[in-house]
Structure 1
Amino acid sequence: MAGLAAMAAAVLLTALRMPVALALMLAAGAGLAWSGSLDRAWPPVAALLSAPDLLLVPLVLMLGNTAFYAGFATRVHDAAAVILQERRGGLALAAIGGCAGFAATSGSSLGCAATMSRIAIPPMLRAGHDPGLAGASVAMGSTLGALLPPSMLLIVWGLLSGTPVGAMFLAGLLPALLSLAGMVAVVLWWVWRDPQAAPLPQPLAITPTAALRAVWPAPVLFAILVGGIHYGSLTPVAAVAICLALTLAFGLVQHRLTPEALWLALRETLEQTARIVLLLIAARLFLSFLDTTGIPASLADWAAESLPRLAVLALLGLTCMALGLVAEPVAMLVLLMPFVLALAESWGLDAVWAGIVLVKLVEIALILPPYGLIVTVVATAIRTIPSGTILAGVARFLFADLLVLAALALFPALASWP
């Protein structure tokens, strides 16, 4: 009962707009004090703070901020818009590709949604695209940031669960590619069914060759990150650090990074790092308390014995939707992590699969009604498309995303990298 009360308290305090880190810390502190387990709280926190992969938090944040101010994070969209300009629905496909490119350098779905909304949606609206298609393309594309390395959600999962972050980065690639393929298929089907939803835009003066020359830093950085980790030549920390150094060098050589921009990137990185590290400490305390209660293992054993795997994932998805009304993505991940880990153990699956599935569930919850956090971010950023219109457009993409989730449940090997 103490564990259930602590969870209810954490959710309630978050719903009352208390900072998530403080809500988790208060709930965990009260629970640990009540159970007489305060002496067990420090060792897991000390292990977290001494973990080498913790350096990924400031490095990834600085990489994302630097790439943004240098303009590298948005060039994928610009190049794709040029290359696909003669294809119906090309601007929507460019928006999705641009979101994937942004996510591959920033690691943030919400940051991607806020930025790409202002960049990708206005050209689509000027070209006469359906507002639902325009808004939904960016909203769906932004969810790729949850699975593509260096995703902050994957970093948080690895740090809190003790799973190697490099393994999480590689495991997220195939599900992300499957999700991307599903989004592309939906756009092509949409414009085939309704050609007026995506009129062909006016041709741009830039040639595809020039566009590709401008976009090369982003794929180079992604190849270094993934290739270095995959072949074992670089640790995740080293790979991200090299990508950051190259981003700084490219930005300075191309005169895209001014001293003012570098100062803004550094200041934002320090602020964001402080928030995330504090949240990680609070989450570690909260998870330590839940471990002492035995609730996650008990619920997981009951669910594994009583319900099919797809039914359990459906219940978890509904829980994510409910939590999405009051909690941010990292808080959703923390609250559900112990149960999903215990479920994976009951099913004989590893923590890497559990992390990818939970991140996918959180990603889907971010776009679903009645709230849809990413949809709200897109609507707030662009202000010309109502949330309801974007949600209606997102509904057309939902089936493809659910297919990817079902595939992960039925074929766990998809959450791995050869």
Structure 2
Amino acid sequence: MTSLVLFGSFAILLLLSVPIGIALGLATMVTIFYSGTIPIEFLMKELVTSVDSFPLMAVPFFILAGEIMGKGGISERLFNFANALVGNKTGGFAMATIVTCMFFAAISGSGPATVAAIGGIMIPAMVRQGYDKKFATATVAAAGSIGVIIPPSIPMVIYGVVGSASIGDMFIAGIIPGLIVGAALMIWAYLYSRKNNYKGSGEKSTLADVGKTFWEAKWALVIPVIILGGIYGGIFTPTEAAVIAVVYGLIAGLLLYRELKVKDLPKVLADSALTTATVLIIVGSATAFGRLLTIEQIPAQVANFLLSISDNQIVIILLITLLLLVVGCFMDTLAAIIILTPILLPIATNIGYDPIHFGIIMVVNLAIGFITPPLGVNLFVGSGISGLSIEKLSKAIIPYFLAMIFALLMITFIPELSLWLISFTD
């Protein structure tokens, strides 16, 4: 009955449009009062201790780094380089947009931030090139999901903290899956563009053009190398890498590209502080919610239920995938990771999945939630930029959704795609 009160009150609060972080906290509080066996101090303690974590400090710094780099002239230079690589192909602008999002994903660590930074430039540009606005917006919204798959990734940091997994290993493991998702999106963009006769720029890029745009974007492209190289070179931890990213972003924006002005910094700091506060409220509330689930032994009940359906590895992982896809439609990615990791990770390891591989599966599953309504935060960001209704955008995103499902199945059933690069660091 206690679990019914917990999930029931949470569902009612969501239906009332209460923000998810607040809804998780209130549902936990209601359940505590109902049970009468847990002191109310439990909630306050969890809200504080859950965010008192050195690895978790990486989250606000990566958020700040993304804000700085999004306003520091990096987005346009990344696109110019991507356009020089594939812009002259059929559907070149669409594919260049996806490649740009992949580059920016290696900087921001956030899906919505990637959509906001790239969409503001690329959606109007694609429309001017003759692309349908629905397709252009869907392209950016889908590609923005790669922001949490290619490292650095804020959800990977959260999974590492909750699942006691190496954040550095999670970052390395996300590289190939991120490229696979990007390739799947580019294949659909090419097929749709060929069908609708969306030609490329028609101007073949020379090696000199590629070299010039690469050189202009060099300060942006070197960021992932510094972050991952520093972590695996033993120079700094993932949290320290996030701080390095902030400092580097300031140097690039203020001194190298000179498009970020000192007068812009107060707004950048305010925006990142607001995002960080939202994230940490969700982290604290979701942690308390998850601990209450553990006290009520709900993870064990879910595990027993899944294992009672079948002991076949493929059936169980498909059931977990279906659950994550549904949850991603209704719940924030970070909250879902905090709540579901303690439930699903033991099941996954029990059927033979590596914790790092399963973490990538979770992140890719929940990344798809960025483009699935009713939550679909990338859809809302894209809608705000293009002016399209969520209904129209939701229909246009379906082929990209299917492409991401195909990529997800590859990542799920071919563990080497996630674990191969890690083998070189052992």
**TM-score scaled to structure 1, two decimals?**
0.89
Change (3 A) 1:36 1:167: farther
Match of 2:332 in 1: 328
User: 3-state SS of the aligned residue for 2:71?
Assistant: helix
Match of 1:100 in 2: 102
Choose the corresponding residue for 1:151, options 141, 145, 153. 153
Match of 1:306 in 2: 309
Choose the corresponding residue for 2:348, options 321, 344, 350. 344
Query: What whole-Å deviation, never above 9, does each CA across 1:95-115 have from its counterpart, x for those lacking one?
Result: 101111222222111122233
Match of 1:378 in 2: 382
Moved more, 364-373 or 218-227: 364-373
The residue type paired with residue 173 of structure 1 is I
Match of 1:241 in 2: 243
Query: What whole-Å deviation, never above 9, does each CA across 1:165-185 have from its counterpart, x for those lacking one?
Result: 222222222211111122222
Query: What whole-Å deviation, never above 9, does each CA across 1:4-32 have from its counterpart, x for those lacking one?
Result: 42123223212312122222122223334
- Contact 1:128–1:199, Cα closer than 8 Å, also in 2: no
Moved more, 20-29 or 304-313: 304-313
Match of 2:200 in 1: 200
Within 5 Å, give how 1:275-314 maps onto structure 2: 275-307=278-310, 308-314=312-318
Structure 2 CA distance for aligned equivalents of residues 150 and 30 of structure 1: 36
Change (3 A) 1:207 1:267: same
Structure 1 CA distance for aligned equivalents of residues 182 and 292 of structure 2: 38
Structure 2 CA distance for aligned equivalents of residues 320 and 381 of structure 1: 28
The residue type paired with residue 37 of structure 2 is G
- Contact 1:15–1:326, Cα closer than 8 Å, also in 2: no
User: 3-state SS of the aligned residue for 2:190?
Assistant: helix
The question of 1:362 aligning with 2:363 is answered: no
User: 3-state SS of the aligned residue for 2:101?
Assistant: helix
Structure 2 CA distance for aligned equivalents of residues 4 and 313 of structure 1: 25
Choose the corresponding residue for 1:140, options 120, 139, 142. 142
Choose the corresponding residue for 2:63, options 61, 64, 70. 61
Moved more, 259-268 or 4-13: 4-13
Unaligned stretches of 5+ in structure 1? none
Query: What whole-Å deviation, never above 9, does each CA across 1:170-219 have from its counterpart, x for those lacking one?
Result: 22222111111222222233334x151x1233759994333222211121
Structure 2 CA distance for aligned equivalents of residues 161 and 14 of structure 1: 26
Structure 2 CA distance for aligned equivalents of residues 5 and 30 of structure 1: 8
Match of 1:18 in 2: 18
Structure 2 CA distance for aligned equivalents of residues 35 and 337 of structure 1: 27
The aligned length equals 415
Structure 1 CA distance for aligned equivalents of residues 23 and 375 of structure 2: 21
Change (3 A) 1:386 1:32: closer
Query: What whole-Å deviation, never above 9, does each CA across 1:45-104 have from its counterpart, x for those lacking one?
Result: 665343211221221111011111212244212321244332111111111011112222
- Contact 1:340–1:354, Cα closer than 8 Å, also in 2: no
Change (3 A) 1:332 1:49: closer
Structure 2 CA distance for aligned equivalents of residues 73 and 125 of structure 1: 18
The residue type paired with residue 167 of structure 1 is D
User: 3-state SS of the aligned residue for 1:234?
Assistant: coil
Match of 2:357 in 1: 353
Structure 2 CA distance for aligned equivalents of residues 204 and 267 of structure 1: 43
Within 5 Å, give how 1:146-295 maps onto structure 2: 146-192=148-194, 194=195, 196=197, 198-201=198-201, 207-254=209-256, 255-295=258-298
- Contact 1:41–1:288, Cα closer than 8 Å, also in 2: no
Query: What whole-Å deviation, never above 9, does each CA across 1:107-163 have from its counterpart, x for those lacking one?
Result: 111122233222112121111124443223212211101212222222222233333
Give the superposed CA RMSD: 2.8
Change (3 A) 1:50 1:259: same
- Contact 1:309–1:409, Cα closer than 8 Å, also in 2: no
Moved more, 391-400 or 72-81: 391-400
User: 3-state SS of the aligned residue for 1:36?
Assistant: coil
**TM-score scaled to structure 2, two decimals?**
0.87
Unaligned stretches of 5+ in structure 2? none
Match of 2:3 in 1: 3
- Contact 2:87–2:95, Cα closer than 8 Å, also in 1: no
1:313 offset after TM fit, Å? 4.6
Structure 2 CA distance for aligned equivalents of residues 8 and 341 of structure 1: 24
The residue type paired with residue 295 of structure 2 is T
Match of 2:37 in 1: 36
1:374 offset after TM fit, Å? 2.1
User: 3-state SS of the aligned residue for 1:415?
Assistant: helix
The question of 1:407 aligning with 2:410 is answered: yes
Change (3 A) 1:195 1:382: closer
Structure 2 CA distance for aligned equivalents of residues 213 and 114 of structure 1: 25
The residue type paired with residue 114 of structure 2 is C
Structure 1 CA distance for aligned equivalents of residues 357 and 49 of structure 2: 23
- Contact 2:328–2:368, Cα closer than 8 Å, also in 1: no
The residue type paired with residue 399 of structure 2 is R
- Contact 2:141–2:378, Cα closer than 8 Å, also in 1: yes
The residue type paired with residue 261 of structure 2 is T
Identity between Structure 1 and Structure 2 (%): 25
Match of 1:395 in 2: 398
Change (3 A) 1:319 1:113: same
The residue type paired with residue 379 of structure 2 is V
